[in-house]
Structure 1
């Protein structure tokens, strides 16, 4: 045990000795490191003292000499001398290089002496800008550049501004007893004058705000106050200026991002166009902090302003701005320090510009801007130099007016898919539509843009866009022109159905090509025909004038097209005098939310956002253009040229027609004030003999020119009834039915039996009989007194296999008294007529009759005979009277002149409105 304990103790002692040795080594190393660190720190402190005093002057400082005499410090002076020699080599030409840099980056008025440019109007377009703007100069001793000591070397000092940086100016150092306002004004005036004298008038807009002054803010610029180049803002309403700037930022950010650019400056460089002016906002504070809300808004503006082409110049506004900021702090009235040169160099500010010369220069710029803007621009100024050079794959873009000489555009595309236009009567809404349509059609060919134009108000606003008697030209982009349709709401519904069908067709094609929008579809299917479609519906509120099926269907279709049309290039332009009373959209904002492009004519209400009253103050012949759903920051006021004056738009249309007409069909014209002529209808002129003829009754109210008729086959009930007391329309329907049938039979294959029981119709019946005879058909005109006997004979001839017959009855109800008479034990003429109605179609005989009331038709048919009339056209008959002839469904119909409600139980789910054909001869007889 003793030996083991001794060995264990020996091991412990050895371990402790080793630990002491290691600790000694560590402590020694730490002591050496500390000595080295202290020595290095002493060297750095010595270096700082020598640099502050100057290498040459430091030898005369006893404290520095004593410290430098320490052997450990012996290398400091030699090392600094080596560094100085190297610096002199690099900086020897520093001032000259700075002068060259400023000269290259600040050309013209941006950097040249005032005598070279002050009073001249600038010429820069604003697409490119100087990078720097001179504020003064700085001087260094020659010794700092490796040259002779005592020789002063001067170089220019300039700061970045437009699109590059904000500027923060402090007017006096802390503790100063005076605020040198004149020096600050001179500095700001120098900068602004250089900027305004560099660019062409209108390319830069200046905003002035001074917390302490209502007027007299940079008074030498006040000549610009009568133009948009300068705006002085209310000192108590900083929030208004910040809201305005924020609105510009949002609007500019929206369309630069949509165009694939990160800033307005990059968009300018890429497109070579100045689409927006530069803006400089000068804010004079008083050295006191802004209110928290103002400060928050100012920082928000500053963070996005540069990308939107807005630079802030803050004077005595203590805050830290977002984004790039250069600072200028005045030392006294003529000297300052600037962040561009550092705090060790003093900047000698340029002397104030002569006030009188600045005033005259501002006046010349103002005069040049007014001259550039000129008087009201003409419609011709909207048009491009060459027609049809733009492509609509991504969007439609065209100027519609001018603001202070600059074009104001509308953009219709994915971001602003639909347009809402409002303005009271006489406000220029129609003229605006013509300006917009003219500008679009001049830029885009008919293969790029297709127009569907519909005007619900009484008038012919768009009629001239289709060929007419006086002018054979037409607008090649127009596919459909509808005018005077204020009573034909069904036509608006038909247009929406057409657009919905086209939307489905395009969506299916996009799905097949695995794309999501029109631009991609056109890229994947270059051989396809996919123009952008613009459907203009003027006074669109008429679509929703009633609480009926038309309103319900139109509302549903319009919402669907508004929601999904954007991606497939289908755009709505909805115009109205007043959108306030459209009950169909109460609680259904889907359509209006999609109309992000709002056009408000003077005095228009409820078109822009509720708080946006810009249209109320808009002058005549102007419009407020807003691409941001009517929010105030999106307002752009534009003067709209006179496009509706005689010969103005037709002149453009003639040029377009001559260029494109040969390769495009003329538009379909639907004029609700004129009934279609039978002999001009394609459906009539194309008729040929067929086994199952159709009796044409009228024209469908549809986008395509479609005639509605009744197929007279051998099926039961293939007879036609015309109902109502409207003689003119009833005669027209019977006439067109008979003539159309005649053109579908060969001579000798059909016999027409005509009976007129209304005296006023006899001329028309005789004329029809003469026409049938001249075409080689058999025709018999039966006097009313002979009708019972002739009906009985026809009934007796059923099933004989004889020639096909058409029994045409004018005023059939007038024959009821005679038809009801019968001899004892024999059937009456009415019995025989009922037999013809029931059994005739299967035996080649059809009745086409006119009854002047539904009750009289019921009397003719008898109990349970309604199935014998398979088709009917109702004129001045109320809808509730027609239910027995419509399979019991409720019929919504209020009679209107020149229209009929048509129902064919074999083809229709519900009745539809048609326009009876008219013939010129029938018109002459009626007169």
Structure 2
């Protein structure tokens, strides 16, 4: 316990000491700290004072510099502000002036392109010949402040420069974005229809004449909605597609036509060469494609699934091809799934109907603005404008591709060889390519052409004929031209101085056409014999081995060839066989057949097996039926052809894949005649020798001056034993029709028919041709007693005597009063020769013009005179005439007589006397009269400029064209030749 106490006390003492020591050390430390703190504080206060003084000095300096910089900046800012304000005012002024100028230009263009309807009726206005960029639909009006992106200038002067409002015309991009979609409910339909009518009239006026084609669907209105536009069909059906379509099947067919057109434009015209039809048209020039507008009211009424699918295709591809859609649709209606109107909206101007019979533009920029359509014309103005459009389109319908496209340059005339292939340019295909007719290779050997009246078929025939003659020499190609129709298309080729021409038939008879086929068949056989003889199989081989032996390609062109088959007779059968042979066998021998017709339908046509051999088809504007016939059963492309000269060239037997649209070149009559004169001059310059061609002009009388035998007799002075009385040209390729005046019974000539001038012409040509074959002087000189019974007040009186008057022979004109004297003279000579048994005396010809007028020669029905009186006075004139008919020919005395009818003939002569006319010419008469004279009714089917010659000795009849009265200068030239001594 004590120890514990001591220990505690010791600890307390030690603790107290330690506390005292700690307290002393702490105080000492505190004193030291306080001293250092005072020192530091004093030092800090000193430094703070120094820093404060420095900062105040620096602040003062920097403040002074900032004040200077601020002042400078403010001066610069004020200067820049002043400059910017001035520039902004100037820019504002310039922009406002430009805006006003642009608005004025827009207004001026819109006014010029789409003036008021009344101004369109002003006589000074005319259609544009180039497609304008756009046409006006209406306008939108907007306040300027609604368009501004910021506040207006504070300066009232600048504010006054800005227009208060803008009137912006809404234009339809005609060439590239010419579609229009109007969306409205049934309540707004009438206003929408009126708007479409106005827009269509604008388009028709803005587009060059004939270059806007409408296809209109009006399934609910049944055509009433656009009936006024049908006024255009009075001028050109193609402007409105013939009619307004309302039925589903018709609408689908028209959509098919449009899609086929689009396919054709893309594949044949645009390809990858042109971005749009507008770009193509700028190059194509005169063969530019028209723009087509598909107008649809009340979509989707009466649209089938197929029609909707085709419409979708048109919307998708049509704009590039110039096919645009103007559609009136009900947005609440159920649309076909095949048609997505978003496609049309993207390619069209879209108008949406609004309450109150107004419209707005479905455009992000203009959607809040009201669209104001242009006012519609009055009914009278609309009718007058449509009439003007139709007239201008009718005048502009002819597209003329220059003949320079097909003719060779001067240095290339007659430069082509057709040994391997015949190539004839005939027009333009597309913007720059020439279309050629190519024959001689593969199956391209023969051609079939069809085109209705006014389609340009005749022009095509002229083009290929003249172009072939310009490119190829006469040794390369020759032509046989036959025209069955009532026209003279081939008459310019009948000059006789064109070395390429072998035969020309104008308004030909079937028999003459058949004779040309027979001639070509003979040529085919001749060439076949040559091939076999020389061991060749084609024209190219023959020409290569025998270049100096001419063998041109022969081209037979028959226009209206179906005339061959209008009657089921021998001519039709022979023609069918010969055409089939030429078509099947002609290819190897360079013989090509080209058949043309206005229509291939009907009962009278060529056998389909023959047509099937003609691989080249050229279809011009024709009906849908003919399109199938000339092309193929699934190829109706020709029905879409609308303008003259627009055609389809197909060398694949009419299959769709062979279609090549083109435009036939244009050749005016004057230009054609100039080409033919050039060819005649060229042939004369090169002294081309060629066979004289054969001519047949069925719509005119024959020309005696073309009688080659007559010229030959005159030139050579030949004196045949049995001279021939030339009557006319046969309807076949042979020598002229003539009556042989043999010195034997029955060799008299009788002409019966009511055409007095034709009869006089045949008598005149008989006298002239007989005179040429006889001496005009000397003991063998022929004598002619020409009795003209024509009444003196008849215009024909004296014409026969005038026609034969220049001849140097003993030709005695006899009036009707002296007819018995002439008969008695001939009868006296006959008796003298008979008594002397002289049958070789010089020929005497008694010509009786008009037996029915020569009453003094008429036989007596009842003869009560006594035989002693007869013996005292001699035989009567009628008996003398009968004796001449019976006994005269064997003694060289012949009778050539004309009588108007069989009735008059039987009153003038009895049957035994009539039987002495072994040579008979019949003009048109009844079947009974024809049978009485030649025991056949052939003369009943004769027309103008036709007659039948019957040779009783041969029992043969021959159809021919009688000669016209010869020109006096021609007879005088013959007379001069006859009086010129022959070497």
Aligned counterpart, 1:190:
none
Work out whether residues 723 and 874 of structure 1, in 8 Å CA contact, stay in contact via their aligned partners in 2.
yes
Work out whether residues 930 and 939 of structure 2, in 8 Å CA contact, stay in contact via their aligned partners in 1.
no
C-alpha distance in structure 1 between counterparts of 2:659 and 2:895, whole Å: 65
2:656 is the alignment partner of 1:638: no
Of the candidates 260, 275, 295, which is equivalent to residue 224 of structure 1? 275
Work out whether residues 756 and 783 of structure 1, in 8 Å CA contact, stay in contact via their aligned partners in 2.
no
Aligned counterpart, 2:434:
407
TM-aligned CA deviation for residue 818 of structure 1? 4.8
SS for the counterpart of 1:911 is strand
TM-aligned CA deviation for residue 572 of structure 1? 1.2
C-alpha distance in structure 2 between counterparts of 1:549 and 1:872, whole Å: 24
C-alpha distance in structure 2 between counterparts of 1:834 and 1:475, whole Å: 51
1:413-449 deviations in Å (ceiling 9; x for gaps): 2522211111111111122223323433333221111
Aligned counterpart, 1:624:
648
2:688 is the alignment partner of 1:663: yes
C-alpha distance in structure 1 between counterparts of 2:493 and 2:822, whole Å: 51
**Are the structure 2 counterparts of residues 788 and 454 from structure 1 closer, same or farther at C-alpha, using a change threshold of 3 Å?**
closer
Of the candidates 482, 488, 502, which is equivalent to residue 454 of structure 1? 482
C-alpha distance in structure 2 between counterparts of 1:462 and 1:590, whole Å: 29
SS for the counterpart of 1:882 is helix
C-alpha distance in structure 2 between counterparts of 1:598 and 1:582, whole Å: 21
Work out whether residues 824 and 880 of structure 2, in 8 Å CA contact, stay in contact via their aligned partners in 1.
no
Of the candidates 784, 787, 794, which is equivalent to residue 755 of structure 1? 787
C-alpha distance in structure 2 between counterparts of 1:614 and 1:582, whole Å: 23
Aligned counterpart, 1:783:
818
**Are the structure 2 counterparts of residues 846 and 595 from structure 1 closer, same or farther at C-alpha, using a change threshold of 3 Å?**
same
TM-aligned CA deviation for residue 224 of structure 1? 3.4
TM-aligned CA deviation for residue 720 of structure 1? 0.6
Work out whether residues 495 and 702 of structure 1, in 8 Å CA contact, stay in contact via their aligned partners in 2.
no
C-alpha distance in structure 2 between counterparts of 1:786 and 1:221, whole Å: 92
Aligned length: 554
Work out whether residues 807 and 848 of structure 1, in 8 Å CA contact, stay in contact via their aligned partners in 2.
yes
Larger C-alpha radius of gyration, 1 or 2? 2
C-alpha distance in structure 1 between counterparts of 2:562 and 2:902, whole Å: 34
Work out whether residues 618 and 650 of structure 2, in 8 Å CA contact, stay in contact via their aligned partners in 1.
yes
Alignment map for 1:17-416 (pairs within 5 Å): 224=275, 226=277, 378-385=402-409, 386-404=412-430, 405-413=432-440, 415-416=443-444
1:190-231 deviations in Å (ceiling 9; x for gaps): xxxxxxxxxxxxxxxxxxxxxxxxxxxxxx9998364899xx
1:703-732 deviations in Å (ceiling 9; x for gaps): 758422122121221111101121111111
TM-aligned CA deviation for residue 638 of structure 1? 1.2
Work out whether residues 752 and 780 of structure 1, in 8 Å CA contact, stay in contact via their aligned partners in 2.
no
Work out whether residues 920 and 951 of structure 2, in 8 Å CA contact, stay in contact via their aligned partners in 1.
yes
Work out whether residues 563 and 590 of structure 1, in 8 Å CA contact, stay in contact via their aligned partners in 2.
no
C-alpha distance in structure 1 between counterparts of 2:649 and 2:853, whole Å: 63
C-alpha distance in structure 2 between counterparts of 1:864 and 1:516, whole Å: 61
Scaled by the length of structure 2, the TM-score of the pair is: 0.51
Work out whether residues 751 and 779 of structure 1, in 8 Å CA contact, stay in contact via their aligned partners in 2.
no
Moved more, 763-772 or 800-809: 763-772
TM-aligned CA deviation for residue 563 of structure 1? 2.5
Work out whether residues 393 and 522 of structure 1, in 8 Å CA contact, stay in contact via their aligned partners in 2.
yes
SS for the counterpart of 2:744 is coil
C-alpha distance in structure 1 between counterparts of 2:526 and 2:955, whole Å: 24
1:747-783 deviations in Å (ceiling 9; x for gaps): 25222223333324541344357445x5455666671
**Are the structure 2 counterparts of residues 923 and 908 from structure 1 closer, same or farther at C-alpha, using a change threshold of 3 Å?**
farther
C-alpha distance in structure 2 between counterparts of 1:793 and 1:379, whole Å: 70
C-alpha distance in structure 1 between counterparts of 2:402 and 2:561, whole Å: 29
**Are the structure 2 counterparts of residues 537 and 790 from structure 1 closer, same or farther at C-alpha, using a change threshold of 3 Å?**
same
SS for the counterpart of 2:737 is strand
Of the candidates 903, 921, 943, which is equivalent to residue 873 of structure 1? 921
C-alpha distance in structure 1 between counterparts of 2:941 and 2:422, whole Å: 41
2:624 is the alignment partner of 1:595: no
1:72-121 deviations in Å (ceiling 9; x for gaps): xxxxxxxxxxxxxxxxxxxxxxxxxxxxxxxxxxxxxxxxxxxxxxxxxx
1:825-877 deviations in Å (ceiling 9; x for gaps): 24554343232222211111111111222344456564555552221111132
TM-aligned CA deviation for residue 626 of structure 1? 0.5
Of the candidates 553, 562, 574, which is equivalent to residue 532 of structure 1? 553
C-alpha distance in structure 2 between counterparts of 1:438 and 1:613, whole Å: 30
2:529 is the alignment partner of 1:508: yes
C-alpha distance in structure 1 between counterparts of 2:804 and 2:962, whole Å: 24
SS for the counterpart of 1:554 is helix
C-alpha distance in structure 1 between counterparts of 2:913 and 2:729, whole Å: 28
C-alpha distance in structure 1 between counterparts of 2:854 and 2:463, whole Å: 60
**Are the structure 2 counterparts of residues 766 and 380 from structure 1 closer, same or farther at C-alpha, using a change threshold of 3 Å?**
closer
C-alpha distance in structure 2 between counterparts of 1:697 and 1:540, whole Å: 30
Of the candidates 703, 707, 732, which is equivalent to residue 761 of structure 2? 732
Q: What is the RMSD computed on CA atoms of the aligned residues?
A: 3.7
Aligned counterpart, 2:502:
479
C-alpha distance in structure 2 between counterparts of 1:611 and 1:542, whole Å: 27
**Are the structure 2 counterparts of residues 521 and 680 from structure 1 closer, same or farther at C-alpha, using a change threshold of 3 Å?**
closer
Scaled by the length of structure 1, the TM-score of the pair is: 0.54
C-alpha distance in structure 1 between counterparts of 2:706 and 2:898, whole Å: 25
**Are the structure 2 counterparts of residues 636 and 798 from structure 1 closer, same or farther at C-alpha, using a change threshold of 3 Å?**
same
Work out whether residues 728 and 737 of structure 2, in 8 Å CA contact, stay in contact via their aligned partners in 1.
yes
Query: Which stretches in structure 2 are left out of the alignment for 5+ residues?
Result: 1-270, 282-304, 311-398, 972-983
2:882 is the alignment partner of 1:834: yes
Of the candidates 674, 696, 700, which is equivalent to residue 729 of structure 2? 700
TM-aligned CA deviation for residue 637 of structure 1? 1.0
Aligned counterpart, 1:824:
866
TM-aligned CA deviation for residue 451 of structure 1? 1.3
TM-aligned CA deviation for residue 619 of structure 1? 4.7
C-alpha distance in structure 2 between counterparts of 1:475 and 1:691, whole Å: 32
2:831 is the alignment partner of 1:796: yes
SS for the counterpart of 1:797 is helix
C-alpha distance in structure 1 between counterparts of 2:420 and 2:273, whole Å: 43
**Are the structure 2 counterparts of residues 504 and 756 from structure 1 closer, same or farther at C-alpha, using a change threshold of 3 Å?**
same
Aligned counterpart, 1:767:
802
C-alpha distance in structure 1 between counterparts of 2:886 and 2:674, whole Å: 61
TM-aligned CA deviation for residue 883 of structure 1? 3.8
1:282-313 deviations in Å (ceiling 9; x for gaps): xxxxxxxxxxxxxxxxxxxxxxxxxxxxxxxx
Aligned counterpart, 1:71:
none
C-alpha distance in structure 2 between counterparts of 1:873 and 1:614, whole Å: 52
Work out whether residues 753 and 899 of structure 2, in 8 Å CA contact, stay in contact via their aligned partners in 1.
yes
2:451 is the alignment partner of 1:428: no
**Are the structure 2 counterparts of residues 912 and 615 from structure 1 closer, same or farther at C-alpha, using a change threshold of 3 Å?**
same
Work out whether residues 717 and 869 of structure 1, in 8 Å CA contact, stay in contact via their aligned partners in 2.
yes
**Are the structure 2 counterparts of residues 599 and 769 from structure 1 closer, same or farther at C-alpha, using a change threshold of 3 Å?**
closer
C-alpha distance in structure 1 between counterparts of 2:939 and 2:853, whole Å: 28
Alignment map for 1:578-589 (pairs within 5 Å): 578-585=599-606, 588-589=607-608
TM-aligned CA deviation for residue 582 of structure 1? 4.7
Of the candidates 952, 961, 974, which is equivalent to residue 905 of structure 1? 952
C-alpha distance in structure 2 between counterparts of 1:611 and 1:703, whole Å: 40
Aligned counterpart, 1:919:
966
Work out whether residues 902 and 914 of structure 1, in 8 Å CA contact, stay in contact via their aligned partners in 2.
no
Work out whether residues 820 and 856 of structure 2, in 8 Å CA contact, stay in contact via their aligned partners in 1.
no
Aligned counterpart, 1:437:
465
TM-aligned CA deviation for residue 518 of structure 1? 2.6
**Are the structure 2 counterparts of residues 677 and 442 from structure 1 closer, same or farther at C-alpha, using a change threshold of 3 Å?**
closer
Query: Which stretches in structure 1 are left out of the alignment for 5+ residues?
Result: 1-219, 230-234, 241-374, 469-473
Work out whether residues 893 and 901 of structure 1, in 8 Å CA contact, stay in contact via their aligned partners in 2.
no
C-alpha distance in structure 2 between counterparts of 1:765 and 1:859, whole Å: 24
